[in-house]
C-alpha cells in the first residue's frame, strides 16, 4: 500500500485545512519545495499535491509552487485542484506531473474525464470528496445530490488510474479514517481506491492495511505527518509489510 504525503497549497504556502475550511488553515511550510525535499528524504515514493485556491477559483492558482516542487524532487507527483479542461490537464502532464486528479468535472463533465483517460492512459485520477456520503465539489463549497458510489461507478470502464476518496468531515481533524465507507467503496469497484481524510496514527494505517484486499491501494496523509503524530519510517514500514 502506498503512503502519499500531502502538500496542500494556499497562497503559495504549504498548509492544512480543517474539514476543507479555507479560513481554518494552518501554515506548515512557507516553501513547499523544501517540504517536498523533506518528504523525498524521508523515503516516500509519491507526492500528493492540491492547489486549494485553484479548487475554489476553477483554474490553477499555485502553479509557481507546483513547478518549484517538480524541479526540486524526482518523485512522481499527483496533482488536483482547479483542473477542469483538457488544456490544463495536458499542461501539467507536459510539465512532469505524473497523474492529474479531476474532482469537480467528474460530476459536471464526465465526458471530459473519459476523453482525458483515452488520451492519457493511467494518468487520470478521479477525486471523490464526500460529505455524509454525498459528493461535494468546487473546493467542497457545494454538496450535490449524487452518492459517492454512484459517481465512482460511472467511470468503471473509463480507464481511471485510481479513485481518491475523501471523507470531508474527517479531513484534517485527526479523528481517524472512515474505514468502513472506504472499504465498501473499494469492494464495489474494480478501480483502485486511495483513502484520504482523518489519518491520525499508525493504528489508522493498520486498519486500512487490513482492508487492502478490498481494493484500497493507498492512503493520503497530511496533518499527522506535519505535527509528528506519525513517524514516516514506521508508517512506511507498516504499509509495505505483508498483511
Alpha helices in 60-178 (DSSP H): 63-72, 86-95, 104-108, 110-119, 148-153
Residue found under cell 454512484: 150
Residues 6+ apart with CB under 8 A from 16: 6, 8, 25, 26, 28, 172, 222, 223, 226
Catalytic (active site) residue 184: no
- Catalytic member of 51, 129, 171, 204: 129
Among the options 8, 51, 171, 204, which is catalytic?
Answer: 8
Around 113, how many Cα atoms within 13 Å sit in the side-chain half-sphere? 27
Q: What is each CA distance from 200 to 66, 138, 225, 226, 241, in whole angstroms?
A: 26, 26, 9, 11, 20
Classified as helix, coil or strand, 225 is: helix
Nearest to 200 by CA among 180, 237, 229: 229
- Measured CA to CA, the distance from residue 83 to residue 106 in angstroms comes to 11
CA–CA distance, 40 with 94 (Å, rounded to integer): 22
Q: Does the active-site annotation cover 129?
A: yes
Q: Which residues are catalytic?
A: 8, 129
Amino acid at each position: 500500500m502506498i503512503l502519499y504525503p500531502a502538500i496542500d497549497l494556499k497562497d503559495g504556502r504549504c498548509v492544512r485545512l480543517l474539514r476543507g475550511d479555507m479560513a481554518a488553515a494552518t501554515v506548515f511550510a512557507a516553501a513547499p519545495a523544501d517540504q517536498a525535499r523533506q518528504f523525498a528524504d524521508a523515503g516516500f515514493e509519491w507526492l500528493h499535491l492540491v492547489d486549494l485556491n485553484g479548487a475554489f477559483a476553477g483554474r490553477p492558482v499555485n502553479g509557481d509552487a507546483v513547478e518549484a516542487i517538480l524541479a526540486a524532487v524526482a518523485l512522481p507527483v499527483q496533482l488536483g485542484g482547479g483542473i477542469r479542461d483538457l488544456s490544463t490537464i495536458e499542461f501539467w502532464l507536459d510539465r512532469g506531473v505524473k497523474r492529474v486528479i479531476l474532482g469537480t468535472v467528474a460530476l459536471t463533465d464526465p465526458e471530459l474525464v473519459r476523453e482525458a483517460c483515452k488520451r492519457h492512459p493511467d494518468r487520470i485520477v478521479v477525486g471523490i470528496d464526500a460529505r455524509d456520503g454525498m459528493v461535494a465539489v468546487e473546493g467542497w463549497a457545494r454538496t450535490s445530490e449524487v452518492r459517492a458510489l454512484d459517481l465512482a461507478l460511472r467511470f468503471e470502464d473509463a480507464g481511471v488510474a485510481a479513485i481518491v476518496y475523501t471523507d470531508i468531515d474527517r479531513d484534517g481533524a485527526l479523528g481517524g479514517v472512515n474505514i468502513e465507507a472506504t472499504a465498501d467503496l473499494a469492494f464495489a469497484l474494480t478501480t483502485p481506491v486511495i483513502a484520504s481524510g482523518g489519518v491520525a496514527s499508525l493504528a489508522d494505517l493498520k486498519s486500512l492495511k487490513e482492508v487492502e484486499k478490498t481494493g484500497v491501494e493507498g492512503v493520503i496523509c497530511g496533518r499527522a505527518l506535519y505535527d509528528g503524530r506519525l513517524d514516516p519510517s514506521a508508517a512506511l514500514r507498516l504499509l509495505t509489510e505483508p498483511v
